[in-house]
Amino acid sequence: MPLPETIFCGQQIKIPPELPDILKQFTKAAVRTQPCDVLQWAAAYFSALSKGEPLPVKERVEMPLATVKAEVGLTPGFLRVLHNQLSSKGTVSVIELKEKWKNLCLPDKQLEVILQVDDFGEEVEWMKVLALGCSTLGESLLSSMEHACKILTKDPEGGAAPVTFETFSFLYSYLASIDGEIPEEETEAFLTRIKEQADQQTGMVLLRNFLTQPSAKF
């Protein structure tokens, strides 16, 4: 004898009070981030949410860069997400980096290329990875630094994108050394000029101050 069908009424169904807001925030995050694999990204989203970790979410919908090929994958928005997730640790394991990278549905090959640029071991200094990520987005050393400043700044988008001279100097020197064709004296002269300008801005480097400076290109 078949079991009778269960009949539910509105009074029997209890919806957790926090569920509507969770789903609303998730939907808005998915729209902003535009992941190519929603299920994979959703798993990472709710895992981070349950652990109280930074979410794999872009701050806003990102328009494609004219200088970035569609198949490249990495964008300034995704790089900022990774920075928000990993920067507080300073040094991260390659395993964790690959996991965060995969959660954003970015191409594995692209990360492999980035990690092959330097002699990284099982752990990497995040700021170096950030610098190399910016170099894949920029067409020159200065445009790479422009991406870095816009990712690192706390100011609203479209502003002067100030960053500390210490941070700017570290990233610039690192990328110049990786290039291998920029004379050390040229790097030092450039940073000396930038420091003079930064000293007038309470130690902060502004976009307009270094984009007009001559610098060797990659």
Mean pLDDT, range 171-199, rounded to an integer: 93
In this structure, the answer to whether residues 114 and 142 fall within a common structural domain is no
Within a domain: 1: no
Find out whether 186 and 192 touch, Cβ atoms under 8 Å: no
In this structure, the answer to whether residues 148 and 121 fall within a common structural domain is no
CA dihedral for 154, 30, 93, 50, sign (positive or negative): positive
Question: Given this model, what pLDDT does residue 13 score?
Answer: 78
In this structure, the answer to whether residues 98 and 176 fall within a common structural domain is no
Within a domain: 145: yes
Within a domain: 5: no
Mean pLDDT, range 11-16, rounded to an integer: 78
Boundaries of domain holding 203: 138-218
Mean pLDDT, range 39-58, rounded to an integer: 96
Of 168, 173, 175, give the one whose Cα is nearest residue 151.
Answer: 168
In this structure, the answer to whether residues 50 and 92 fall within a common structural domain is yes
Find out whether 37 and 111 touch, Cβ atoms under 8 Å: no
Mean pLDDT, range 128-148, rounded to an integer: 94
The total of structural domains in the chain comes to 2
In this structure, the answer to whether residues 170 and 208 fall within a common structural domain is yes
